[in-house]
Amino acid sequence: MSPEAPAVPARGLATATPGDVDGRLVDGLRAGDEAAFVALLERYHPALVRLAAMYVPDRATAEDVVQETWIAVLKGIDRFEGRSAFKTWLYRILLNQARQRGKREARSVPFSALVRAGAEGDEAAVDPDRFFPPGHADAGHWASPPREWGASAEERLLASETRDRITAEIAALPPGQRAVIELRDVQGWTAPEVCHALGLSETNQRVLLHRARSKVRRALERYLDDEGAPDR
């Protein structure tokens, strides 16, 4: 760090605006600051690996793809003009790398074919048997309603075992649902960011998210309903 740096982090090419963490880190990276690079790794690397893993056959290949992505970032950072957000630029590089690699490995089905909502079947959010059947006086209303998740459930929900259950449930989802719930709910992306990154229509994105969330809720409900049974 240069001694004259206290108020203004970089000269000339600075892209940072106040409160813009990525912009500050990008300025640092351009100036050759290793700490800025490490901070960007910490912010994005794990999420990039999770995203790459949706395109390539295994985790090791995903790690490779992300490594190539960072190499491209290091090479291209001086040309990055800050007209789009750094995050958008970064993910675009990642997706290009991942798609190229997926093609090379010739094992991946085009992602766009995987994520079409229709390709993942028509599924009800809740088992239809839990509602009164057509013809019944209360047709369509709960026959077997969900139980309120009270204080005792809350304790279990916060346990690390619950997180493992959710992770396993996400891993078992069809690829489109998995990608959307991962990016929206786990990584906290907005709907337009997800549509853009995955090449999905807004409608497909919403349908996939809804199905995925419904399944995770169902898994949690089942898990909590086992409550009466002793753990081991």
The residue ranges that bind other proteins (CB under 8 A) are: 32, 34, 37-38, 41-42, 45-47, 49-50, 63, 67, 70-71, 74-75, 124-126, 128, 131, 139-142, 145-149, 157, 162-163, 166-167, 181, 185-188, 191, 206, 209-210, 213-214, 216-217, 220-221
Closest distance of CB 179 from other proteins, Å: 14
Q: How far is the CB of 210 from other proteins (least distance, A)?
A: 4
Q: H or E segment at 57?
A: none
CA–CA dist 56, 66 (Å, integer): 11
Shorter beta-carbon distance to other proteins: residue 21 or 109: 21
Closer of 106 and 158 to other proteins (Cβ)? 158
Site of tokens 């912009």: 23
Structure tokens at 137: 């006086």
**Start-to-end CA span in the chain (Å):** 56
- How far apart, in whole angstroms, are the C-alpha atoms of residue 230 and residue 69? 48
**CB-wise, 20 or 63, nearer to other proteins?**
63
DSSP state of 142: B
Alpha carbons 187 and 47: distance in angstroms, whole number: 7
Mapped onto helix, strand or coil, the DSSP state of residue 131 is: strand
- State in angstroms the smallest separation of the CB of 143 from other proteins: 9
Whole-number minimum distance, CB 81 to other proteins, in Å?
A: 20
Q: Which is nearer to other proteins, 140 or 199 (CB)?
A: 140
